Amino acid sequence: MEEPAGQDLEVGKPLPGERQTRLSGAWTALVVGVVVLIVILVFILQNLQSVEVYFLFLHGHLPLAVALLFAMVLGAVVVLAFGAGRIFQLRLVAMRARRQGSQTATPPTE
């Protein structure tokens, strides 16, 4: 089969409306968020039995799903804290390197 003359398709160039926009990214994030919310709701509804929870000096009864979600959130907070600390450390190192680089790159004035 032959292609009609004048209809050369460029593979690399996106057509108008095909490129990623902020709005398409927001819609994608919204859809992913709704799917995650539905999965979490199904998880909670399937794990409603009460369990006894002990943490340091606190203890009580919680639904299993809620206890697991608390553990997940606590784990995420710990990971975020370590990640933020590492990012802060790397920014300090980069700032010191930039400062040293700008001081040595300045030619002496006579």
Cα angle for residues 56, 57, 59 (degrees, 5° grid): 95
pLDDT mean over 22-29: 82
Q: What is the pTM of this model?
A: 0.53
CB 50 within 8 A of CB 65: no
- Lookup: tokens for 70: 């608390």
pLDDT tens-digit map of 27-74: 888 999 999 989 988 888 888 888 898 888 888 898 888 888 888 899
Give me the residue spans of the domains in the chain.
23-103
Write the CB contacts of 59 (distance below 8 Å, at least 6 apart in sequence): 52, 53
Angle between helical axes of 22-46 and 64-105 (0-180°, round to 10)? 150
